[in-house]
Amino acid sequence: MAVESTAPGAELEILYDAEAIARRVRELAAQISQEYQGRPVRLVGILKGAWVFMADLVRQLDLEVTVDFLSFASYGDAAQPSGIVKITKDLDQSIAGQDVLVVEDILDTGQTFEYLRGVLEAHKPRSLKAVTLLDKPSRRVRPVQADYVGFTIPDIFVVGYGLDYAQKYRNLPDIRVLRAKM
């Protein structure tokens, strides 16, 4: 793994390079396109982390799609979820009676995802599924899972490809492990 120094006290190691991510996004899109074949799908991206993944995914889907976004806050500027989830941006249009695919950057403790699922189910979609770029099942405190998973990762803190630490590193083209230097 390549290592790149960043701010004093931290370093970044590449976990998945841009090529591996692009390949996995194409595979997920093919699987999703096959499952939803002939049906329009509403993609609901979870801001801010999922926008890069969602942009790449939507361009690979062979489906009629519309998009919307939700934003939840649960991390703040911390590396650990706070346990408090709040909506900071709601849907712009109704999802009632539609096939909805939630696009997440990372499924971690499951607290935000469980809350999100409840919020969206209250809108009475025809179906509700989720795709996540990263799944971290070792940290799960709620019994939730995504229907489609890009990569399963251990309990590490990752940035890049839309994921951040204190709003930094979203622009990296790959997914990197953020480690504190000792």
Q: State pLDDT tens for residues 48-71.
A: 999 999 999 999 999 999 999 998
Whether the model clears a pTM of 0.85, i.e. scores above it, the answer is yes
Percent of the chain at pLDDT above 90? 70
CA 72 to chain centre: 12
Contacts of 134 (CB under 8 A, 6+ apart): 105, 106, 107, 149, 150, 151, 152, 153, 158, 163, 175
77: number of Cβ within 10 Å: 9
Structure tokens at 157: 């803190």
List the beta bridge partners of residue 100. Answer: 42, 128
Which of the residues are catalytic?
108
- Round the average pLDDT of the chain to a whole number and report it: 89
Which domains does the chain carry? 3-180 (3.40.50.2020)
CB 167 within 8 A of CB 148: no
Contacts of 164 (CB under 8 A, 6+ apart): 48, 49, 170
- Confidence bin at 74 (pLDDT 50/70/90): low
Q: Is the pLDDT of residue 101 over 50?
A: yes
